[in-house]
Structure 1
Amino acid sequence: MLAPSYIPETKHKLLAELSDGLESNALSWLSGYFAGVAQGRQESSRSAPPAIAAVADTQAARQLTIVYGSQTGNAKRIAESIAERTGALGLSTRLLRADRYPTRELKDEHLLYIVMSTQGEGEPPDDSLAFVEFLSSRRAPKLPQLKFAVLGLGDSSYPLFCGIAQSLDARLTELGAQRLYDLGTADLDIETVAMPWQEATIALAQKVLKQPEPAGASVIPLHPKTAPVSRDQPFLAELLLNQPITGRDSDKDVRHLEISLEGSQLNYQPGDALGVWPTQSQALVDSVIATLNLGSEETVEFNKVSRTLGDWLKHHRELTQLTKPFLVAHAELAKSSELQALLQADSVEVLRNFLGTRQVIDVLKAYPAKWTAQGLVKSLRPLTPRMYSIASSQAAVDEEVHLTLAHVKYDHQGESRWGVASRYLSELGEGDRLPIFIEENPRFRLPADASRDVIMIGPGTGIAPFRAFVQERSANRTSGRNWLFFGNPHFASDFLYQTEWQRALQDGDLHRLDLAFSRDQSEKIYVQHKLLDRATDLYEWIQGGAHIYVCGDATRMARDVHQALLHIARNEGGLDESQARQWLDDLAAQGRYARDVY
């Protein structure tokens, strides 16, 4: 059906997308809703004289702008939920990723919500670098007319918990804006903080924008007959293969896992992540309970949910990652001057090292305290799913999903320690089932233009998404070239997927392969060194339109790679320091420099 001429041509596609796939009852509701909007506008036009400037100001005053910055998709998911709900209430809402927000419009905003994650050591997500930099700079305008609320997503196992959100909240206040609702700081159990924050800020948006829910209108849920698989409703998938892919002499235990998606109706794209809900080791649960002299069968009620202490600790509480909030609670309970001094020390690095090298059980043993079962459950962070970069393309493996898993295990003062999810997964046998879901990562996608070249930088298990990339490009017979940089300690024992990469080179699916085995010679060689060795060709590929992808460790590797790229821009492109940074920022803004780092 053709849209009438009085509807602008630019809106035709939006109308088609809005109505596509909706059932008749939903279309009827939309019809009534738009009729109500039209009537309201007609009444407004009869009662108020035309004034272009006033209309523009009124529109800004009656609009909620939601800006999000997301590395793994969680902040995006929360922001979309807010936008969907405020839109359903009839509020004028616009949703923008931080790198798409026109900062020149900030001075005209009246209601702004920011949802932003903090990465690693207090850094903004890649899509928010320019937005955060602008707000922090002298170019940011005074904002006396602005009401705002900030929700931060972070990880309390890092000392600078939700550091970016705290900085934004403080900076907006400094610029004269009015805080509409208190800063929210959500840990890995995101919904615990995010849901109450959403409820409160949505109610406040209604009040500020003076737009009650249209009389008689209701949002009709359009649910399929069976609820789709999600983070909160995972699919119990069968494990098909659990195979070590490092040699016997390796210091690492890396596994290749193949998981069946049969019956799940799950689909994914290269670059997406697989979420896995882990279970704590029974040995660790028993050790915590015994150390505190508590009873495994003791019933604990928390947030109107009753479970045994053993069940809480095994399935619902974090034990392998020590967090600052738990350490604060334990220091007070243990009356430990040593822990109090640590928490009050000026050095963030000292606290970071303490949190990163100890688990809950280590603190319980080293600094005895009398915990109750109720207090313990309340103070421990909820167990959350772990995200793994998917190492396969459905174009190649159909109803399967593959993972590259590093089993995290080490000794602490003569006792074994491990990562909860890597131990859980590594101990699964073929035929066992595990709860999974797909987490989309739209910022880590192959180029829409299949003729574009791609440069993939993935040491260690960071190789995972690039196995998926090459499989996908091979299956689709793309014309763009593929260049892979991979690094690990030793060629003989740590060359992950060696035969696959050799075959890909022979078949023409991989055009260049550069390897950095750091311990095979006296001088340590890493992937960033290989980038510098290939600087001329790399710069030529990038200037010719290639996309750059980086996956792996955020704290060292990703920073070193970033610095190597800046060096290449200066040396090969003749750019100064400022121009080189702008060059990389522009590549990121174009979607040609993407990182999946952790």
Structure 2
Amino acid sequence: MLPEHAPFTPDQRRNLDSLLSGLTPGQRFWLAGFLSADSAAPAAAPAAASLPLTVLYGTESGNAEELAAQTVKSAKKRGFKAVMKNMSEISPDALTKVENLVVIVSTWGEGDPPESAVSFYNDFMSGARELSKLRFSVCALGDTSYEQFCKIGKDVDARLEELGASRIAPRQDCDVDFEEPYNTWVDAALSGFGPATATAAPASAGFAPVVGTEFGKKNPFPSELLDKVVLNGEGSAKETWHYELSLEGSGLSYEPGDALAVIALNAPDMVEGVLKAAKLKGSEEVTLKGGSPKILADVLREDLEITTISKAVLKKLNEVVSSDKLSALLADDAKDELRDYLWGRWLADALADFAPQGLAADALVSILRKLPPRLYSIASSPLAHPDEVHLTVASVRYEAHDSLKKGVASTYLADLVNQGDNVLVYTHTNKNFRLPASDDTPIIMVGPGTGVAPFRAFVEHRGETGAKGKSWLIFGDQRYTYDFLYQLEWQDHLKSGALTRLDVAFSRDQPEKVYVQDRMIEQAKELYTWLEEGAYFYVCGDASRMAHDVNEALITVIETQGGKSREEAEAYVDALKKAKRYQRDVY
């Protein structure tokens, strides 16, 4: 209802209340924009027009950068002089000259800063600066499946306050489904800095659903699966698939280094396992926030994350069941016990352990988060495969705690999607993993297992453009006979010159295991020569061990071949990163 002090007569207030109460949120939004655009007084922007605003972001997969761009757009509509800065392009000392700041930063894995933000973060968290004139607000991006949820955003927020800056809007911690909390935060933050102009649209306008035939994150494209082939030979311990999907008519585009988001469905047996553990039939009707009533089994299959659990999910479960056993596991002094419990257990396991009496349907859906899309590195060049996008995906299957566990998207593609079926997808830009601007620049690519995917795209693309720069692939897997992914293609690329050199490491073909980092050490002299010639160094694959081991090997190569100390070698690597000559796509 309109407040009594609103500038309307009692009759006008009653009429407006009657009208507004019958409008949908979308109709209210349209009406607000119409009235704003129809304003007869294009007055000069108020105080906010003179306010500078710095939008600082740190990103790994591109989401923080996307939101930073949206924030700048919204701020400019309100009359701010907004500029956007990547943490990789600014020194923390520059903040001493900033008056108004919003920070949008993601947390990578178990509490690490994004690759491009490491130097800024380390310097900012350790150096003392006077920031008492700075006003700020922070939006933290993270994933509640990790223990250190939104750690980097929390650290930056606390450090800004510690250095004397004034928080003008509370920090917003966002899970993988970040649009709604972001919209709430950005509106509060921009309002906190200053008044909006008379013609400003709501800050959330940039996330209005896409309609018609414009495909993207809000309107995924139903892509036809053109082909699927198992890449491993019979007898392999692995199950790696090559998928070819159509983009014809989608309007979607991509570059080598980008990713494809797959909107997967939970497997029927996984849904049945949850229903059985919760003692529900699946025919119950539930309503998700902002949605319409829907059958529970369909919600569990299509909308919610029902496999992996996290501390956040267990906390919500405990709010429902009030389990002493679960409370003890969630205690601050039981971190090791919680970590051990979470490994290899899924939602059905937790329900059996802590809710043996079952759950009501509404209670079940209340503890779960939205099923997030899965991002896969694109394994094709758009020049080599027009209107297509290819993926290299390892199916995740394992036994744990007396039951079969499997990856949601990887087994959805392998088990539930056949040639001719449609898969909902959209392309995801990754500006932090790009071929050099010049085709003459040498490239070194390290990609074991499915980490080879983007390098298939790189080599294809360079072959199509006739690039003269040298290219070197270091590939690894378990066995030469079974696991040499794309072997014939690499041989063809070597013959054509699109690939200059190929080194392989098959870990289980000899008593002593050999990995890609071992090949780097063996070829240290040649590798260092390429780096000194200006080569770009790329790594794709497992973040938990491989990426660390490759980084250590790279430092060792620079130490031994460059005659440098450990500190000097690390500085050399940092310089490569700052020059964007060392790029990683790790997961």
Decide: shared fold, TM above 0.5.
yes
Q: CA deviation at 1:581?
A: 2.0
Q: 2:229 — aligned with what?
A: 243
Q: Which amino acid aligns with 2:584?
A: R
Query: What's the offset of the Cα at 1:484?
Result: 0.4
Describe how 1:192-211 pairs up with structure 2 within 5 A.
Answer: 192-205=180-193, 207=194, 210=195
CA drift at 1:351 = 3.5
Q: Per the alignment, in what secondary structure is the counterpart of residue 74 of structure 2?
A: helix
Match in the other structure for 2:526: 537
Equivalent residue, structure 2, for 1:401: 389
Whether the 8 Å contact between 2:224 and 2:420 is mirrored in structure 1 is yes
The DSSP-based 3-state class of the residue aligned with 1:396 is coil
Q: Secondary structure at 1:463's aligned position in 2?
A: helix
Partner residue of 2:313 out of 307, 311, 326 = 326
How many residue pairs get aligned? The number is 544
Q: In 2 relative to 1, CA 120–227 (structure 1 residues): closer, same or farther, beyond 3 Å?
A: same
Q: CA deviation at 1:412?
A: 2.1
Is the counterpart of residue 252 in structure 1 residue 242 in structure 2? Answer: no
Q: SS of the counterpart of 2:71?
A: helix
Aligned to 2:540: 551
Q: 1:436 matched to which residue of 2?
A: 425
- Give the Cα separation in 2 of the matches to 1:249 and 1:267: 37
Distance 1:226 1:365 in 2: 44
Query: Which residue number in structure 2 is paired with residue 137 of structure 1?
Result: 126
Aligned match of 1:96 in 77, 85, 92? 85
Distance 1:275 1:591 in 2: 25
| 1:302 counterpart SS class | coil
For residue 512 of structure 1, report the CA deviation from its aligned partner. 1.0
Q: Distance in 1 between matches of 2:120 and 2:201?
A: 40
Deviation at 1:516, TM superposition (A): 1.0
What CA distance in whole angstroms lies between the structure 2 residues aligned with 1:334 and 1:214? Answer: 49
Counterpart of 1:174 in structure 2 is 162
Equivalent residue, structure 2, for 1:72: 61
How big is the shift at 1:272?
Answer: 0.4
Q: Which amino acid aligns with 1:361?
A: A
Deviation of 1:223 (Å): 12
Matches within 5 A, 1:35-74: 62-74=51-63
CA distance in 2, matches of 1:530, 1:343: 44
Contact 2:239 2:395 in 1 (8 A): yes
String of CA shifts for 1:271-304, please: whole Å, max 9, x gaps: 0000010011112112211221123121212323
Q: Which amino acid aligns with 1:295?
A: K
Counterpart among 177, 180, 186 of residue 174 in structure 2: 186
Secondary structure at the residue paired with 2:330?
Answer: helix
For residue 503 of structure 2, what is the amino acid of its counterpart?
Answer: D
Equivalent residue in structure 1 for 2:264, among 253, 278, 282: 278
Aligned to 1:295: 281
For the 8 Å contact 1:275–1:386, the answer to whether it is kept is yes
> Could you say which residue in structure 1 is the equivalent of 2:138?
150
**Match 2:565 to one of 576, 580, 584:** 576
Structure 1 residue 195 displacement after superposition: 2.3
The 5-angstrom pairing of residues 308-457 of structure 1 reads 308-344=295-331, 346=333, 348=335, 350-369=337-356, 370-427=358-415, 428-457=417-446
Counterparts of 1:433 and 1:506, CA distance in 2: 36
Deviation at 1:520, TM superposition (A): 1.2
CA distance in 2, matches of 1:224, 1:343: 41
Q: 1 CA distance for matches of 2:148 and 2:548?
A: 18
Residue 455 of structure 2 corresponds to 466
Q: Which string of whole-angstrom CA distances, capped at 9 and with x for unpartnered residues, describes residues 530-583 of structure 1?
A: 111111111111111100111111111111111111122222222223322221
Hey, what's the Cα distance between the residues in 1 that align with 2:200 and 2:486? 61
Q: What letter corresponds to residue 247 of structure 1 in structure 2?
A: G
Residue 358 (structure 1) shift: 1.3
Question: How far 1:231 sits from its partner (Å)?
Answer: 1.1
Counterpart secondary structure, 1:394: coil
- 1:212-260 CA deviation, whole Å, 9 max, x = no partner? 3459999999999945211110000100111100112111110000001
Structure 2 Cα separation of the partners of residues 587 and 342 of structure 1: 44
Does the C-alpha gap of structure 1 residues 218 and 72 become closer, same or farther in structure 2, counting only changes over 3 Å?
closer
Q: Which amino acid aligns with 1:340?
A: S
The 5-angstrom pairing of residues 25-40 of structure 1 reads none
Assess if the C-alpha contact under 8 Å between 2:536 and 2:582 holds in 1: yes
Question: Which string of whole-angstrom CA distances, capped at 9 and with x for unpartnered residues, describes residues 95-140 of structure 1?
Answer: 01111124332112121111111111110011101110121112x4
Cα displacement (A) at 1:354: 3.2
The one-letter amino acid paired with 2:449 is G
Assess, with a 3 A threshold, how the Cα gap between structure 1 residues 572 and 356 changes in structure 2: closer, same or farther.
same
Distance 1:177 1:161 in 2: 24
User: Displacement, 1:64?
Assistant: 1.0
Q: How many Å apart are 1:346 and its aligned residue?
A: 4.4
2:576 paired with 1:587: yes
Alignment identity in percent? 38
1:515 paired to 2:504? yes
How far 1:192 moved relative to its partner?
A: 3.8
The yes-or-no answer on 1:212 pairing with 2:236 is no
Q: Secondary structure at the match of 2:509?
A: coil
Deviation at 1:415, TM superposition (A): 2.1
CA contact (8 A) 1:245 1:496 kept: yes
Q: Map 1:101-116 to 2 at 5 A.
A: 101-116=90-105
Instruction: Tell me how far apart the structure 2 counterparts of residues 592 and 251 of structure 1 sit (CA, whole Å).
Output: 35
Decide whether the 8 Å contact of 2:261 with 2:427 is kept in 1.
yes
**Contact persistence 1:158–1:355 (CA under 8 A):** no
Q: What CA distance in whole angstroms lies between the structure 1 residues aligned with 2:54 and 2:566?
A: 34
* One-letter amino acid matched to 2:249: G
Q: 1:488 to 1:347 in 2, by over 3 A?
A: farther
2:215 matched to which residue of 1? 229
**Runs of 5+ unmatched residues, structure 2:** 1-41
Which AA in structure 2 matches 1:176? Answer: G
User: Higher mean Cα deviation, 183-192 or 128-137?
Assistant: 183-192
**Amino acid aligned to 1:363:** A
Cα-to-partner distance string for 1:131-150 (whole Å, 9 max, x where unaligned): 10121112x41211111111
Amino acid at match of 2:268: Q
The C-alpha deviation readout for 1:316-370, integer Å capped at 9, x for no partner, is: 1001221211112224544444433332254755534433411111211233344
Is contact 1:158–1:352 with CA below 8 Å preserved after alignment? Answer: no
Give the letter for the 1:275 counterpart: A
State the TM-score, normalized to the length of structure 1.
Answer: 0.86
Distance 1:129 1:187 in 2: 21
- Kindly indicate whether the alpha-carbon contact (under 8 Å) linking 2:87 and 2:120 is maintained by their aligned counterparts in 1: yes
TM-score (norm 2): 0.88
Matched-pair contact (CA < 8 Å) for 2:258–2:430: yes
2:43–2:198: 8 Å Cα contact kept in structure 1?
no
Amino acid at match of 2:197: P
Does residue 494 in structure 1 map to residue 483 in structure 2?
Answer: yes
